[in-house]
Chain A
Amino acid sequence: MSLSKKMLRDIKINKTQFISIFLMAFLGIFAFCGVCSEYYGLEQTSNDFYADNNLADGWIYNTTITDDALDKINNFSTDSEKQLVVKSVGNFSNDPDITLHFIEDNKISKFNVAEGEDINISDDSGVWLDKRFADAQNLTVGDNISFSFNGITIEKEIKGIGYSPEYVYEASPTSILPDFKDMGFAYLSHNAFPSNIQYNVLLVKFNQSADDFEDSLEKSVDCLSFTRQSEHVSVSQFNEEMSQHKMIGNVFPIVFILVTFLTLLTTMTRIIAHQRTQIGVLKAVGYRNRSIIMHYMSYGFWPVLGGAILGLVLGPAIIPNLFYPTMSYRYSLPAWHPGFDMSFIIVAAVMVISSLFVSYLAARNISKENPANTMRPKAPNISSSGFLESSKLWSKVGFNIRWNYRDAKRNKFRALMAIVGVMGCVALLVSAFGMNDSMEHLKTWEYDDISHFESKLIVESGASLSDIDSIREDVNGSTIMEQAIEIKVQGNEKVGSLLVLNDTNLISHTDKNGNPINLSDTDISLSAKIADSLNVGVGDTIEWHIVGSDEWVKCEITNIHGEPLSQGIILSKDMLEESNLTFSPTSIITSKNVTEDYDSIKSISTLTEMKNNWDEMTGSVMMMVSILIFFAVLLAIVVLYNLGILS
């Protein structure tokens, strides 16, 4: 009982060390639980969202889904639903791209209503709209909205606003940072389609693995393209983001936990050595060895327990909320909840128990000596000179090195703490500045080394070629065509982008290390990332098609290029036309700073805007960078301070 008072007062005397121990334990658990909570939160919220809204296990695309194909597919799928998915332009001043889903039913990849009423399949006058788009455009339930596609315009009343499990991530056609004013999706009843409806997407649910399903699909029906759930743009992008967070959450608390233990070990060893006589007295008056060891174990226990509990509480409360705002810039979920997992408590408990063990290591010698000896000052531990010191080399080594070596040898744990602390600090700084650098590097690579245009004018879909050409002449630019494509090599498929260049020097090319390379008009170049993942190189043949068209093109790769952002194929207009595809420009790039409005131009993005978008998109990375630097500095202070006190 009174010994706990002794403990408290001893802790008070050595408060800097115990504050360090508390702080390190807190930060270790805080970082671990915080980042994991953020990550588990994303995982749990997205998985719940997928499950609650019955996200499709796969998507089958074709120009039309025939009844015959549907019959066959239904044999090996558990459920399926047909949709007609078309790109449309919303009737707003900025001509937003709206993807319309005309649906036959709403049981797979269900629309998740946030405002208004649920989807009514027989309602041909209503539309259920993307909440992010509605918010960006200030639309509410009851408003009317019209869309144009394939030369027709339909006008509908907004009946509901909400989210879709297929649109957690929406790739923006014009910028890397989604601008929800510019894009969106909408669900409508099949009855709302003005003419005879021909479905082009089949959503499927199945029990077998995606591989097996794809096998069965290839065997029974041909000429269909299939995307499994894990490869769906929205799902895969979100998963990738989560796994990055997970890695950070698991790696960097380790340094703090190590430093906690080393500080604890050195502090306790020192305190116990200092209190040798007191320990002898406690033994002499009749304290059991066990009670004395427990007494010293309690020193580290309370700060570590306190730190762990505080970290456990504050980590999940603070860290997810630092990340979610930047995350919600790019991802759409109805709710953002920090997650919780039993592993948080387990890790915190393991930390506390391990700290008890560490204290035990420092205190275990207490029981070795009898009380009479313990009360006497300790006989000096005459350490042998060892191999190094008896060697010839030793005499040649400078005094400073000898001193440091002997010092390190005598205080093994202090030396170890210094090493781990410095290494941890350096590792944190290196990864922080590394992240910062690589972000900056990617930015200069993309916007200085590759792109040399000042403005990019996004062409309105359906604009006439002559209009486009006159604008091109007006701004003295060149037309390019960008499309989403699928690339296939021996059954392996990848989504990528197609970039068709029409004789321009506003875009240059680099290899995967960022060194300039030249592509001629007869070259077909594949980006290094895709080439690696498909295991192909120069001279190999690949097959690809523009998403939404079923014309597959076979070609031989003549070059491999590197690019930080979009991955896919680059070729010239000539080579495109050689493959019997038409060159339909999607944007005009120019070195002029264009500000005028053109009828056939949907939007203009300038290089500065793109760079700003990039910075905003990498906001969560920058947040991580600042957190890492903060932790590194703290770690350095704690380790240096303790070394100072201990020497």
Chain B
Amino acid sequence: MSTLIEFKDVVKEYKSGDNVLRAMDNVSFTIDEGEFVVILGPSGAGKSTLLNLLGGLDSATNGQIIVDGEHVENFDDNELTEYRANNVGFIFQFYNLIPNLTAVENVELMKDIVDVDIDGCAVLKSVGLENHANQFPAQLSGGEQQRVSIARAVAKQPTMLLCDEPTGALDSKTGVLILNLLQEMSNDKNTTVIIVTHNAILAEAADKVIRIKNGQIEDISINVNPKKVEDLDW
């Protein structure tokens, strides 16, 4: 499998007033195409920061972020937008659907962004929501909302799915459902899936586990035989 993502000595500093906070301190790692990656670390370690840099939501202070051979750190605003549109599917902890659009509209919104023909109902069906297509986010349960958000992310057919604590607001049963879905995406469609989580159990299901602490890589491990999410001991 070929390398899709490469972080080389990435530094991210936040300035607030006179203080400089180094949230990402010389981080380097690689991720292969189609890998199911789990990022673990205590709160404040810099997991979200990492995901934001990778997803082009923020720019690094130093270092190189190479995705599919392209240097993301050199992108200007327009190239970053383009990159986000075509390569990245984001899944957030709090779903972040557009509240005034129905489930199917939230998915079909992506037609504005990518040149892919999107059948909102079909995508919703793939996450098991064909019966909720015309409900507004406020009329859906948290798990259903997160599935809409997954549908929205995969509808673009991105090269990678970036999930920042996708089950953080869900009960464990629903969480397993979501994670299972994400693992299937990775296995069936060869989409690279990167999940940030607090839950160390998920590590057993990952192809690769990246542990970070205080903005630095603590450990990177590779599972030769990852378990299926549903087989984990929750």
Q: A286-B81, A289-B81, A372-B52 are in contact. Are A3 and B59 (CB under 8 A)?
A: no
Bound CA span A286–B57, Å: 10
Least Cβ–Cβ distance between B171 and chain A, in angstroms: 24
Residues of B within 8 Å of A370, CB to CB, are 57-59
Contact assessment for B85 and A286 in the assembled complex, using a CB-CB cutoff below 8 Å: yes
Bound CA span A372–B54, Å: 11
Contact assessment for B111 and A1 in the assembled complex, using a CB-CB cutoff below 8 Å: yes
- Number of A positions contacting B (CB below 8 A): 26
**A5 within 8 A of partner (CB):** yes
Contact assessment for B84 and A285 in the assembled complex, using a CB-CB cutoff below 8 Å: yes
Contact assessment for B112 and A2 in the assembled complex, using a CB-CB cutoff below 8 Å: yes
Mark contacts of A291-303 with chain B using CB atoms, 8 A cut-off: 1 yes-contact digit, 0 otherwise.
1000000000000
With beta carbons under 8 angstroms apart, the residue of B58, B112, B153, B156 that contacts A291 is B112
**A288 within 8 A of partner (CB):** yes
Residues of A within 8 Å of B112, CB to CB, are 1-3, 287, 291
Instruction: Return the chain A residue nearest B89 by Cβ.
Output: A285
Bound CA span A285–B88, Å: 8
Q: Which residues of B from 72 to 111 have beta carbons under 8 Å from A? A: 77-78, 81-82, 84-86, 88, 90, 92, 96-101, 105-106, 108-111
Contact assessment for A277 and B96 in the assembled complex, using a CB-CB cutoff below 8 Å: yes
Residues of A within 8 Å of B56, CB to CB, are 371
Interface centre among B56, B88, B97, B108 (most CB of A within 10 A): B56
Bound CA span A84–B114, Å: 86
Instruction: Return the chain A residue nearest B87 by Cβ.
Output: A286
Q: A1-B112, A3-B112, A9-B100 are in contact. Are A285 and B90 (CB under 8 A)?
A: yes
**A10 within 8 A of partner (CB):** yes
Bound CA span A284–B92, Å: 10
**A6 within 8 A of partner (CB):** yes
Contact assessment for A284 and B81 in the assembled complex, using a CB-CB cutoff below 8 Å: no
Contact assessment for B90 and A372 in the assembled complex, using a CB-CB cutoff below 8 Å: no
Contact assessment for A371 and B57 in the assembled complex, using a CB-CB cutoff below 8 Å: yes
Q: Which residues of B from 106 to 135 have beta carbons under 8 Å from A? A: 106, 108-114
Contact assessment for A10 and B100 in the assembled complex, using a CB-CB cutoff below 8 Å: yes
Residues of A within 8 Å of B109, CB to CB, are 2-3, 285
**B208 within 8 A of partner (CB):** no
Contact assessment for B96 and A286 in the assembled complex, using a CB-CB cutoff below 8 Å: no
Contact assessment for A5 and B105 in the assembled complex, using a CB-CB cutoff below 8 Å: yes
Residues of B within 8 Å of A289, CB to CB, are 77, 81
**B55 within 8 A of partner (CB):** yes
Q: Indicate the size class of the contact surface on chain B.
A: 20 to 34
**A250 within 8 A of partner (CB):** no
Q: Which residues of A from 334 to 382 have beta carbons under 8 Å from B? A: 370-373, 375
Least Cβ–Cβ distance between B202 and chain A, in angstroms: 23
**A643 within 8 A of partner (CB):** no
Residues of A within 8 Å of B106, CB to CB, are 2
Bound CA span A375–B92, Å: 11
Instruction: Return the chain B residue nearest A370 by Cβ.
Output: B58
Q: A3-B109, A3-B112, A277-B96 are in contact. Are A288 and B101 (CB under 8 A)?
A: no
Residues of A within 8 Å of B111, CB to CB, are 1-2
Residues of A within 8 Å of B77, CB to CB, are 289
With beta carbons under 8 angstroms apart, the residue of B82, B90, B98, B156 that contacts A278 is B98
Residues of B within 8 Å of A134, CB to CB, are none
**B47 within 8 A of partner (CB):** no
Residues of B within 8 Å of A2, CB to CB, are 101, 105-106, 108-109, 111-112
Contact assessment for B55 and A285 in the assembled complex, using a CB-CB cutoff below 8 Å: no
Bound CA span A278–B109, Å: 13
Q: A3-B109, A5-B105, A372-B52 are in contact. Are A286 and B114 (CB under 8 A)?
A: yes
Least Cβ–Cβ distance between B85 and chain A, in angstroms: 3
Q: Which 8 residue pairs across A and B have the least CB separation, nearest first?
A: A286-B85, A372-B58, A372-B57, A9-B100, A371-B57, A286-B84, A372-B52, A2-B109
Given contacts A285-B153, A288-B78, 19 further A-B contacts (CB under 8 A): A1-B108, A1-B111, A2-B105, A10-B100, A13-B100, A278-B96, A280-B96, A281-B92, A283-B84, A284-B57, A286-B82, A286-B85, A286-B156, A288-B81, A289-B81, A371-B58, A372-B57, A372-B58, A373-B58
Write the residues of chain B forming the contact surface with A, with a CB cutoff of 8 angstroms: 52, 55-59, 77-78, 81-82, 84-86, 88, 90, 92, 96-101, 105-106, 108-114, 152-153, 156
- Contact sample, A vs B, 19 pairs, CB 8 Å cutoff: A2-B106, A2-B109, A5-B101, A5-B105, A9-B101, A13-B100, A278-B99, A281-B92, A281-B98, A284-B90, A285-B110, A286-B82, A286-B88, A291-B112, A370-B58, A371-B56, A372-B52, A372-B58, A375-B92
